[in-house]
């Protein structure tokens, strides 16, 4: 290689490095101060509770003597996804929802343990802390997986079970017995997470993306930037080791409501048949023209079958 070619290649490489450095500076997304996020999304200091070694953001609403229902959000989300449901349920039910460790305004797990077993232990500790002997447990996506794992492990603490497009069955790239590979683009989010790049990922959970408001996108983005949350999300993904659900589901005897958006592009409604085949006392309600987060996309519509299921 002659000197002229080397000079040309050297200049090109230098230019590329400058371009990449400039992009890194433009895309770099630091954490947001926790105090600033609490000022926006924490209702009051009483909603922060130390339970099982984690400072949880937890809301406990409705009559204390009413039947209890616990609502569990999905990955990358927060308790706010159930705002509409909580408002509709709180007249008659004690409604408990909390940000999972390392999500929303809850602090990361000090042991960086985000396994299902740890999640079940955390949920049991929440019930014990609040003095709730039995409750209906509801969960969306990975929150649904945690709900049915809890129902199988602690049948004595269950009233009913509400599963909203629950996760748990193997799918391409998510095999039983081994953690999924985390794509590089997700690894990079600990350094760069511009809001414009996040919006399409949230919109994918909606059947009608026009229902996704700027305020909701801002909330998702802001809470993902809470200190430790991005790393916690990666840790949770790496620790997600699916197990065949059948032995767990077949042991659940309480009444189960399966709620699924007809146009769910993340966990298709066809998966409901696997649950119906293995749950002894379940019924399915398919919500027309809704996606993976019906409680957020259309809270009034999606809550109606839940109210009917829970009864007076």
In tens, the pLDDT along 118-149 reads 999 999 999 999 999 999 999 999 999 999 99
pLDDT score, position 18: 39
> Does 71 score more than 70 pLDDT?
yes
Sort 64 into a burial class: Cβ within 10 Å, 0-12 / 13-18 / 19+.
exposed
Model-level pTM?
0.91
Runs of H (alpha helix) within 72-213: 83-89, 116-130, 142-153, 184-187, 195-203
- 79 and 22 in one domain? no
- 163 and 43 in one domain? yes
- 84 and 5 in one domain? no
- 59 and 11 in one domain? no
Q: Residue 286 pairs with which residues in a beta bridge? A: 260
pLDDT score, position 26: 59
- 228 and 123 in one domain? yes
- 57 and 25 in one domain? no
- 114 and 10 in one domain? no
Q: CB neighbours of 172 closer than 8 A, spacing ≥ 6?
A: none
CATH number at residue 94: 3.40.50.1820
- 105 and 195 in one domain? yes
- 157 and 13 in one domain? no
Q: Give how many domains the chain has, as a whole number.
A: 2
Q: CB neighbours of 208 closer than 8 A, spacing ≥ 6?
A: 289, 291, 297
Q: What is the mean pLDDT of the chain?
A: 91
Q: Which residues form the domain of 13?
A: 1-30
- 291 and 191 in one domain? yes
- 26 and 38 in one domain? no
- 133 and 15 in one domain? no
């Amino acid at each position: 290689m002659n000197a002229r070619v080397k000079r040309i290649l050297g200049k090109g490489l230098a230019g590329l490095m400058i371009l990449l450095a400039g992009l890194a500076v433009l895309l770099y997304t630091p954490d947001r101060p926790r105090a600033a996020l609490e000022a926006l999304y924490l209702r009051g200091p009483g909603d922060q509770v130390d339970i099982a070694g984690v400072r949880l953001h937890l809301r406990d609403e409705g009559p204390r003597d009413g039947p209890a229902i616990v609502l569990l959000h999905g990955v990358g989300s927060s308790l706010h996804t159930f705002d509409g449901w909580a408002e509709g349920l709180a007249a008659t039910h004690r409604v408990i929802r909390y940000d999972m460790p390392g999500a929303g305004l809850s602090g990361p797990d000090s042991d960086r343990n985000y396994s299902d077993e740890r999640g079940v232990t955390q949920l049991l500790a929440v019930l014990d802390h609040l003095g709730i002997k039995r409750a209906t447990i509801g969960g969306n996506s990975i929150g649904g997986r945690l709900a049915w794992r809890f129902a199988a492990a602690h049948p004595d603490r269950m009233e009913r079970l509400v599963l909203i497009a629950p996760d748990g069955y193997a799918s391409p790239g998510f095999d039983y017995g081994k953690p999924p590979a985390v794509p590089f683009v997700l690894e990079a989010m600990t350094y760069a997470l511009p809001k414009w790049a996040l919006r399409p990922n949230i919109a994918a959970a909606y059947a009608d993306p026009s229902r996704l408001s700027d305020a909701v996108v801002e909330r998702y983005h802001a809470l993902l930037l809470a200190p430790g949350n991005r790393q916690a999300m990666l840790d949770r993904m790496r620790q997600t080791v699916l197990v065949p659900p059948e032995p767990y589901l077949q042991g659940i005897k309480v009444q189960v409501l399966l709620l699924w958006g007809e146009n769910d592009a993340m966990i298709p409604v066809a998966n409901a048949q696997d649950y119906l085949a293995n749950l002894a006392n379940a019924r399915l309600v398919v919500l027309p023209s809704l996606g993976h987060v019906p409680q957020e996309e259309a809270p009034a519509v999606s809550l109606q079958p839940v109210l009917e299921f829970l009864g007076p």
